[in-house]
Amino acid sequence: MARTLVLLRGLTRGCNHWADFPKQLNEAFPDVELALIDLAGNGLRVDEASPLTIKAALQDIRTQIQQQNISFPVDVLALSLGGMITLQWLVEFPAEVNKAVVINSSHAGLSKTSERMKPLTIAKLVISVLLPPSLRERIIYSVTSNNPVNKSVINQWILEAKVRPVTRLNFIRQVFIARSFKTNLRIDKEQLLLLASSSDRLVNAASSKALAEETLVDLIMHETAGHEITLDDPGWIIKHAATAFGY
């Protein structure tokens, strides 16, 4: 039976924000089934209300997986808010996950608010919510990617924002659950690998270091990529994912 790799994204982002990363994963791991899951309020599910707790977000994700007739256990690769949901998953239902790779995530009980999201970046993102998609997505790209401007990716994100706009209420709901994530991390360190970038302009790498210290899990650092390491250096992510998942 083929193994399934679940991909979970971050705050207000849906499956179509992965850009070429799913294609690159398919090319690297042709025998692995990919499952791109949208949290309620994002992507194909923008008309639904986002959950108000990380626990509820986890249940939402698990329900989506079950509705797609995917069998547990699964592998999980998750970014940012998706990483918080994954950490909750490892606490509540560890038997459902073979191995998880969590990228540039954080925990409210372990890191200061200013470390979890840098103040200047918070200001930019709040302002961007009030702007039209063409400006908003350029701002988001500027704070999540350290690569030169990729017009193709930005245009894809702009189109997604126009076709499937995340509501301001769901934006607030997702910020709330991210800020309140304080689960006691009783996690088997063999089930988790942490990846982060020391040059992340959205989330301070100290947040991932705090997670690693709390869980005694291995943390591997990228030196130059932005928050979206899957966009800036997908090969690096794929290399470490292959080792972690045993593909």
Three-point CA angle 185, 187, 192, nearest 5°: 115
Identify whether 73 is preceded by a cis peptide bond (ω within 30 of 0): yes
For every one of its 247 residues, what pLDDT tens digit does the chain have, with 9 covering 90 and above? 789 999 999 999 999 999 999 999 999 999 999 999 999 999 999 999 999 999 999 999 999 999 999 999 999 999 999 999 999 999 999 999 999 999 999 999 999 887 787 778 878 888 888 899 999 999 999 999 999 999 999 999 999 999 999 999 999 999 999 999 999 999 999 999 999 999 999 999 999 999 999 999 999 999 999 999 999 999 999 999 999 999 9
CA torsion angle 138 140 146 152 (round to 10): -50
Q: Where are the alpha helices (DSSP H) in 36-132?
A: 54-67, 81-92, 113-116, 119-129
- Contact present, 103 and 195 (Cβ < 8 Å): yes
Burial 104-133 (b: 16+ CB within 10 A, else e): bbbbbebbeeebbbbeebbebbeebeeeeb
Separation of alpha carbons 138 and 154, rounded Å:
6
Q: Exposed/middle/buried for 20, CB within 10 Å: 0-12, 13-18, 19+?
A: middle
- Let me know the angle formed at the C-alpha of 201 by 58 and 175, rounded to the nearest 5 degrees: 35
Q: Give CA separation, 157 vs 18, 41, 135, in Å.
A: 10, 16, 11
